A and B are shown apart, each in its own frame.
Chain A
Amino acid sequence: MSLLKVTNLVVSYGGIEALKGISFDVEEGQIVTLIGANGAGKSTTLRCISGLVPCREGRIYFEGRDITDYNTQKIVETGIAMVPEGRRVFANLTVLENLRIGAYLRKDREVIEEDIQYVYDLFPRLKERSWQLAGTLSGGEQQMLAVGRAVMTRPRMIMMDEPSLGLAPLVVKDIFKIIQTLKSTGMTVLLIEQNANAALHACDYAYVMETGRITMTGTGEELLASEAIQEAYLGRRG
């Protein structure tokens, strides 16, 4: 059984269908990516899964449970964490406070302290900057913090929305290292990327989205080898 199962999801904003019935699965412990151009509906998919926008049709199952009608709070408690687009760290709070906000819904105080240490071990840079305001961090560090904050919710799966957006190429490399680190801890990652090349290299399985539909699926290697993908997303011509 797959960890996350999305079936025939339809989302519309004011009469315009942003998702026209998409279905996909995310297996436990894998990195699964949705790639596609602007406006393909990738972010809408994530926002719908995390309960920030309602869906019109379709069902979402997490660990076999139907979570379609859950609100955001309940979805976070169920074990789905989100790293929003543009990092969105709390700029006027310290790094430590940001991490504590991640654990907001949790009641297990002692374990929270352990998890903070766990995040600091994962990203030692954050530990050095524990008392610094998040707004003063560099882009890459903010991305680490956004991921760390998501880890603090104790999720089964982390969804990342365009983590490489607006970051320098070297930093993007770091981001994908972070994603691999997460995977090595056994975390499941659902990744949304415009940077198809990097995403396909990093992922176990990929879905290609175009204007609200899934048009291609396959493992990372398969899609990297596909001519259609090379032409449309990787800028190589046969």
Chain B
Amino acid sequence: MKERKNARLILSLLGVAAIYFLGWFIEQRSGSKSMVVTVLQKGAVYALIAVSMNLLNGFVGLFSLGQAGFMLVGAYTYAILTIPMAKRAAVYQYYDGGWVQFTVGVIPAMIAAGLIAAVFAALIGIPVLRLKGDYLAIATLGFAEIIRAIVQWDTIGPLTNGSNLLKTYPTLKNIMPGNSVLFVFLVVGVCIGLILLIINSTYGRAMKAIRDDEIAAEAMGINLFHHKQMAFVISSFFAGVGGALLAMYQGSLQANSFKSSMTYEILLIVVIGGLGSVSGSVIASFLFIAASEWWLRFLDSEMLVGDFKVPLLAPGFRMVVFSVVIMVVVLFFRRGIMGDRELWEIGRRRGAKGGRIQ
């Protein structure tokens, strides 16, 4: 048993190393500006955020739609803390250079991004986590929208730059020039690794118990509120870090891009990948980003086959196709790509660990 466990660990480490090498290799071959690299960068960022959302939705059974809000908090925290002193005056030109008059490093800023998002989650969680199901979804969605509105509020403009862009903070292009994919992969890998550790701990088992049956879990002495609150805070921490990565990827930041549609995109990834499957979320996020940024781009532009103009193809049609995909997935592939199994569990029989019983 122990030897097999070790063998599996070595195998997965090799797998991870191979993925890292591949990411690095692709960037060296095709250059930082190529479409593949874009997909790898954004896909990895979304993978982290999707996994953080899956932690709540798939492992604790909390239907929360606040992810975009926590990403926004994380992204802003990162950007505000890392804009170089010399450039603050230009960025905060309408607010006399802003309130924050110091700069921290990239890594501390990312950790701060997670922590501030976690603090927000802790505060929001106290009232909101008493709700269940749809009501929780509505309340978290509302909070995400409120955060977005507050960030653009003129009074705290010296902090957030109001509805103006935040820019000139360190981005993927200039943190590790030429190795941006490796950087994103490393950060995301560490974060997902931590999430996996949590899921497989006693703590994670209690979370799954709550998902399966709240009453029985409570009868076993599991404190429901405490565990839900912790899961909410942990999930938001990683959503915050993901938000910081997204800010790096985008290069400039504006609160308006963190709309609820962003949460839905992530929810879609989680559902396609499989609720309760970390590897499913990762696979689905790369597929989703590749499809939306690359493979399905042609749907948004006019296409001529000979003299024939293909109907329906117009800007925005891509989203229509996506909606259809969602419907098909929800109707016919409710378990998603992976169900609640992980990539490394695929050999196991259904029913014997894996195969969700309704």
A-side interface residues toward B, CB under 8 Å? 50, 52, 72-73, 75-77, 82, 84, 88-94, 97, 100-102, 104-105, 131-133, 135-136, 149, 153
Contact = CB atoms under 8 A, between A and B. Distances in A.
A73 B221 contact: yes
A133 B341 CA distance: 12
A24 B222 CA distance: 28
Contacts of A92: 208, 211-212, 276, 340, 356-357
Interface residues of B, number: 26
8 contacts: A73-B223, A88-B216, A90-B208, A90-B209, A92-B340, A101-B222, A131-B352, A133-B357
Interface in B183-211: 202, 205-206, 208-209, 211
B351 interface: yes
B31 interface: no
Contacts of B202: 100, 104
Contacts of A73: 221-223
Given A72-B221, A132-B352, A133-B351, A84 B205 contact: no
- CB-CB nearest 6 A-B residue pairs: A135-B357, A76-B221, A88-B216, A90-B212, A105-B221, A82-B219
A154 to B, nearest CB: 11
Interface of B: 202, 205-206, 208-209, 211-213, 215-223, 276, 340, 351-357
B212 A91 contact: yes
A129 B221 CA distance: 25
Contacts of A135: 357
A149 B205 CA distance: 14
B209 A84 contact: no
A100 B206 CA distance: 9
Contacts of B212: 90-93
Contacts of B218: 52, 72
Given A90-B208, A133-B357, A104 B352 contact: no
Nearest to B348: A131
A93 B221 contact: no
Nearest to B354: A133
Contacts of A52: 215, 218-219
Given A91-B357, A136-B351, A72 B209 contact: no
B219 A84 contact: yes
A82 B205 CA distance: 19
Contacts of B213: 88-91
Contacts of B223: 73
B15 to A, nearest CB: 24
Nearest to B356: A92
Contacts of B217: 90, 101
B220 A102 contact: yes
Contacts of B211: 92
